[in-house]
């Protein structure tokens, strides 16, 4: 039997969600409510971080949100950053905000995450939001796992009763993803195996997987011999590799060897244009929720 492979386009799915958000913003304004307002704090001039933040600001404009970008020098001390976080916590005009990670080495990221008001923590990283997620209570879900859930649901990917292997145990993607897919909900009801780069029998596990979430942070880590025919692959990784044929001098690839793996799976998310756009719309959905 010849499989019909599907590309799970985060770009297309995100565009349809943006249209929904745009309609909700217009309805809010018609009802006399304020526009949702997202702020972002960016330290330094890291190229990747600037690209991510600019994409978030552009997405806000696209759906009719207000956005504020707070730029701070890379040598900003932790105390100064905490003061800015506190300022945004206490600004009623800001509904939600993020501090773009990673932060410079001299700043304790956890101190900053815990300083953000849980009611404005639209990245979903605060321990209170994480705890509420674990308990299945209303909260802001971490943006990337939330985006992946939306990608699965809106592309009619069945998850109930499936074996899902999540590779990567970060607090931002892997761990919350494993919790969300195991929940008694839709998407969810998976039997989940949480693996990582030190898992000894990884290939044995991935060959059993109906769904693989690759978030290990290693380029082309998942190869064709590690996946079974018809599996669903979500590639969270993003890596720059040199490519002299490109104007930029590089191209983006994921944690999955796309060219080889895509030939045997049922569906796969591309890099770029897969999980990235979904993360941004999940952030927008959280901001709308924060606006109340």
- Residue 111: φ, ψ to 5°: -60, -40
Residues 153 and 212 in one domain: yes
Domain that holds residue 41: 33-118
Residues 153 and 258 in one domain: yes
Instruction: Say if 11 falls within a structural domain.
Output: no
Each residue's pLDDT, cut to its tens digit, for the chain (292 residues) gives 445 799 999 999 999 999 999 999 999 999 999 999 999 999 998 888 888 999 999 999 999 999 999 999 999 999 999 999 999 999 999 999 999 999 999 999 999 999 999 999 999 999 999 999 999 999 999 999 999 999 999 999 999 999 999 999 999 999 999 999 999 999 999 999 999 989 999 999 999 999 999 999 999 999 999 999 999 999 999 999 999 999 989 999 999 999 999 999 999 999 999 999 999 999 999 999 999 9
The CATH code of the domain that includes 112 is 3.40.50.10860
Q: Which residues on neighbouring strands pair with residue 39, listed in sequence order? A: 68, 97
Q: How many degrees, rounded to 5, is the angle at CA 187 between CA 283 and CA 60?
A: 15
Contact 96, 120 (CB under 8 A): yes
Question: Of 118, 152, 181, which one is at a domain's C-terminal end?
Answer: 118
110 among known catalytic residues: no
Q: Are residues 188 and 239 in the same domain?
A: yes
13 domain-assigned: no
Closest CA to 141 of 189, 111, 96, 102: 96
Cα 282 to Cα 196: distance, rounded to the nearest angstrom: 25
40/109 same-domain check: yes
Residue 3: per-residue pLDDT:
56
Q: Is 210 annotated in the active site?
A: no
Q: Tell me the CATH number at 217.
A: 3.40.50.720
> Which tokens go with 1?
């039997």
Residues 160 and 86 occupy one common structural domain: no
Same domain (yes/no): 222, 269:
yes
Which phi and psi angles does 33 have, rounded to 5°?
-90, 165
CA 253 to chain centre: 16
Is residue 225 annotated as a catalytic residue, yes or no?
Answer: no
Q: Are residues 153 and 256 in the same domain?
A: yes
CB 146 within 8 A of CB 277: no
Flag whether 156 is in a domain: yes
d(C-alpha 176, C-alpha 192), whole Å: 12
Residue 1 has a pLDDT of 43
Looking at residue 209, its pLDDT comes to 98
**253, β-bridge pairs:** 239
Is 126 within the bounds of a domain? no
Rounded CA-CA distance 161/169 in Å is: 22
Same domain for 108 and 146, yes or no, is: no
Please name the residues in contact with 229: beta carbons below 8 A apart, sequence gap of 6 or more.
Answer: 3, 264, 265
Q: Which of 18, 84, 100, 255 is catalytic?
A: 100
Are residue 109 and residue 164 in the same domain, yes or no? Answer: no
> What pLDDT score was predicted for residue 4?
79
Task: Determine, yes or no, domain membership for 48.
Answer: yes
Would 10 be classed as within a structural domain?
no
The single residue of 18, 120, 121, 123 carrying the catalytic annotation is: 123
Asked if residue 28 belongs to a domain, the reply is no
101 and 147 assigned to the same domain = no
Q: How far apart are the C-alpha atoms of 129 and 40, rounded to whole Å?
A: 19
| Residue 170 CB burial class (10 angstroms; 0-12, 13-18, ≥19) | middle
Q: Which two tokens stand for residue 66?
A: 């207000």
For the chain, what is the domain count?
2
SS3 for 157-201 is CCCCCCEEEEECCCCCCHHHHHHHHHCCCCCCCCEEEEECCCCCC
| Sequence-ordered list of residues with C-beta below 8 angstroms from that of 211, at least 6 positions apart, any chain | 157, 159, 162, 163, 164, 165, 181, 190, 231, 232, 233, 234
DSSP structure string for 78-108? HHHHHHHHHHHHT-TT--EEEEPSSPPTTS-
Tell me, yes or no, whether 187 and 243 share the same domain: yes
For residues 233 and 200, the answer to whether their CB atoms sit within 8 Å is: no
The answer to whether position 214 is within a domain reads yes
Which position among 56, 84, 120, 162 bears the catalytic label? Answer: 56
The C-alpha atoms of residue 17 and residue 164 are separated, in whole angstroms, by 25
Asked if 38 and 100 sit in the same domain, the reply is yes
């Amino acid at each position: 039997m010849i499989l019909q492979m599907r590309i799970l386009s985060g770009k297309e799915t995100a565009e349809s969600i943006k249209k929904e958000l745009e309609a909700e913003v217009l309805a809010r304004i018609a009802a006399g409510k304020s526009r949702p307002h997202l702020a972002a704090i960016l330290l330094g001039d890291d190229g990747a971080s600037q690209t991510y933040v600019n994409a978030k600001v552009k997405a806000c404009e696209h759906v009719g949100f207000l956005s504020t970008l707070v730029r701070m020098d890379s040598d900003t001390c932790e105390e100064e950053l905490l003061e800015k976080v506190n300022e945004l916590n206490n600004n009623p005009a800001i509904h939600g905000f993020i501090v773009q990670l990673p932060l410079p080495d001299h700043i304790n990221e956890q101190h900053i995450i815990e300083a953000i008001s849980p009611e404005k923590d639209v990245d979903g990283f605060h321990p209170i939001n994480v705890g509420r997620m674990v308990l299945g209570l209303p909260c802001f879900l971490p943006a990337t796992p939330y985006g992946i859930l939306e990608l699965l649901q809106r592309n009619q990917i069945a998850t109930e009763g499936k074996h899902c292997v999540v590779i990567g145990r970060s607090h931002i993607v892997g761990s919350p993803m494993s919790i969300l897919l195991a929940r008694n909900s839709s998407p969810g009801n998976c039997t989940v195996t949480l693996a990582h780069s030190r898992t000894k029998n990884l290939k044995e596990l991935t060959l059993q997987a109906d769904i693989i979430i690759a978030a290990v942070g290693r380029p082309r880590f998942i190869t064709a011999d590690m996946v079974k025919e018809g599996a669903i692959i979500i590639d969270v990784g993003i890596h720059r590799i040199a490519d002299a044929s490109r104007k930029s001098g590089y191209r983006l690839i994921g944690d999955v060897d796309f060219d080889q793996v895509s030939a045997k799976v049922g569906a796969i998310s591309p890099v770029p244009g897969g999980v990235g756009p979904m993360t941004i719309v999940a952030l927008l959905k959280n901001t709308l929720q924060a606006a109340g």
